[in-house]
Structure 1
Amino acid sequence: MICASGRTAAEVLAELKRRYTNRPIVELEAAAQEELKITELRLTKLFSLEPTVPSTTIEGPTVQSDKAAGSSNRSRPPITTHVLDIARGSPASGIEVHLEMWKDCSAPPSFNNKDFSGWETLGYSVTNNDGRSGQLMDIVDNIAPGFYRISFNTGKYAPAGFFPYVSIIFEIKENQAAEHFHVPLLHSPFSFTTYRGS
């Protein structure tokens, strides 16, 4: 399986030839990633037609594109997320999600820096029945490099759980400005994990 969207026939053939010698378990993982890309594209198209998830983006200087607003080549914002409740084995709906960017130019956020006043909210949303948040930021071609924090109100979702909230801080480098960053949360009452998705 391969996500052919935006690829030429030669690119698809080259990718399949590269994967041909994969061990079965490696190929299953690759196929699952491709299936995820296809599903995300379909969901993006579906939700762009019917915006049913409440979300708010807050105006901010996160765009590095010379294009006018609304003329992006992207079909979704540069940063997206979803939440899965791994204890129940289903999407986690109704979780508040906030996206922020570090704006303090004097020093980057660090483990030892306990000053949280440098964070500026870009947008917020609530996860839908599929566990996906609404749009947390504008759709732009290039995202500003820097430190971003995505936070989830897990305590409201699971009051008896160990984590009142989960915040994930990640850095986008200058050479990554045109990339997409999917930052999902896999949550249970007593553990959570994340990864950079596609």
Structure 2
Amino acid sequence: MGSVFDEKDFLASCGSTKFSNNMVAAGPFSTLQDAIQAARDIWFNKVDVNGWLEAFAAHPQIGQTPSRDHKSPTFAQWSKGEQSTAMSTATEVTLQELVQWNARYREKFGFVFLICASGRSTPEILTELKIRYQNRPIIEFEIAAQEQMKITELRLAKLFSNNVDTASAIKSLSTTNIATKAEDRVNIIGAHLTAATRATGAKPAHIPNRTRPPITTHVLDTSRGCPASGIEVRLEMWKDDQARPQFGEADIGGWILLGSSSTDKDGRSGQLLNMVEDLVPGVYRISFNTGKYNPNGFFPYVSIVFEIRESQKWDHFHVPLLLSPFSLSTYRGS
């Protein structure tokens, strides 16, 4: 017997009436994984543009309190909780800047800036907002829909964590080898499991099914204010079992090529890594042939080295490059 939820439950998860109706019709769902698989299919293949815009409109702007007369009180409550990290890391200055950029974003795209805010600080959100503001509307519309799906998955997990049958099922899984070595996906996203689930003493099994490769990148030409296309990109991993790359030491022979590509017209690289569920922990390097792109620039090439730890192997790592002929920066995105 699967978990039974109604339209109000799924409306709290997404904000789209068409989505919630389709989820009810597709249910009941035996597991959270089944619900997420159905949700992805419904959201990306069955909900139309109006449904997407309805879901976007249900969200308050980052930094604002949800309306008390929201059509779903649970939706409003969850939105407030998901912004808790942003609010706790905000200052008067960053909040004012966030309000200004939110207004600019809405004026350009016609809908609220949407991002899965759980666990993100205000500076992180501001950085992402400014980068995405450079996108063309059709690109940004798709990104907003992907962020909405992340939020929906998080909230579906909350629904299931409140369900007695699901909590019992999770508890029974704790005796299996799978649950013993599984990572709590909900804790990775935002640590929002309820006290009832924690009381069982069990870890819900990790939910697979990535929708994109686990390591991605894009390049933005900040001197021109546009994506940088045609830049060769290489992804490598350090494979020397006897050592690891150290600052100031030669690293010849330790790097193994995992994949290569070139950035497209939107500055995004092609697939650099296979669609694996869990990454191998270790040190990775993304290199960009910036000298070919900017022949008269300062950087013949750029390499970004970063480490993925055991606890992060199910995370997604977006490592972009913000480039001009004489400066560069990067950050870890999502």
Specify if TM > 0.5. Answer: yes
Instruction: State the Cα RMSD in Å.
Output: 3.0
Instruction: From the superposition, tell whether residues 74 and 189 of structure 1 become closer, same or farther in structure 2 (CA, over 3 Å).
Output: same
- Asked if residue 176 in structure 1 is aligned to residue 323 in structure 2, the reply is no
CA distance in 2, matches of 1:194, 1:13: 29
Instruction: From the superposition, tell whether residues 171 and 18 of structure 1 become closer, same or farther in structure 2 (CA, over 3 Å).
Output: closer
Moved more, 89-98 or 11-20: 11-20
| Partner of residue 61, structure 1 | none
CA contact (8 A) 1:152 1:165 kept: yes
Instruction: From the superposition, tell whether residues 20 and 90 of structure 1 become closer, same or farther in structure 2 (CA, over 3 Å).
Output: same
| Partner of residue 24, structure 1 | 96
CA distance in 2, matches of 1:73, 1:34: 27
- Per the TM alignment, residue 25 of structure 1 is displaced from its structure 2 partner at its CA by 2.5
| Among 138, 153, 162, the residue aligned to 2:274 | 138
Cα distance per residue 1:125-167 (max 9 Å; x no partner): 1000000001100112211100000000001111111111000
- Larger RCO (CA within 8 A; separation ≥ 6): 1
SS in 1 for 2:248: coil
The amino acid across from 1:12 in the alignment is S
**TM-score after normalising by structure 1:** 0.73
Q: What are the equivalent positions in structure 2 for 1:1-198 lying under 5 Å apart?
A: 1=61, 9=75, 11-16=78-83, 23-26=95-98, 28=101, 30=125, 33=128, 36=132, 39-40=142-143, 42=145, 72-198=208-334
SS in 1 for 2:78: helix
The amino acid across from 2:78 in the alignment is E
- Per the TM alignment, residue 193 of structure 1 is displaced from its structure 2 partner at its CA by 0.8
Instruction: From the superposition, tell whether residues 38 and 18 of structure 1 become closer, same or farther in structure 2 (CA, over 3 Å).
Output: farther
CA distance in 1, matches of 2:269, 2:263: 4
**TM-score after normalising by structure 2:** 0.45
| Partner of residue 53, structure 1 | none
CA distance in 1, matches of 2:268, 2:298: 22
CA distance in 1, matches of 2:333, 2:279: 17
Gaps of 5+ in 2: 1-60, 63-73, 102-121, 133-139, 148-181, 183-206
- Per the TM alignment, residue 74 of structure 1 is displaced from its structure 2 partner at its CA by 1.0
Structure whose residues are more often strand by fraction: 1
Structure whose residues are more often helix by fraction: 2
SS in 2 for 1:175: helix
How many residues in Structure 1 have an aligned counterpart in Structure 2?
Answer: 168
Gaps of 5+ in 1: 3-7, 45-64, 66-70
Moved more, 107-116 or 178-187: 107-116
The amino acid across from 1:165 in the alignment is Y
- Per the TM alignment, residue 197 of structure 1 is displaced from its structure 2 partner at its CA by 1.2
* Off by >6 Å, runs of 4+ in structure 1: none
CA contact (8 A) 1:79 1:180 kept: yes
The share of aligned pairs that are identical, in percent, is: 54
Moved more, 175-184 or 24-33: 24-33
- Per the TM alignment, residue 73 of structure 1 is displaced from its structure 2 partner at its CA by 1.4
- Per the TM alignment, residue 31 of structure 1 is displaced from its structure 2 partner at its CA by 6.7
The amino acid across from 2:96 in the alignment is P
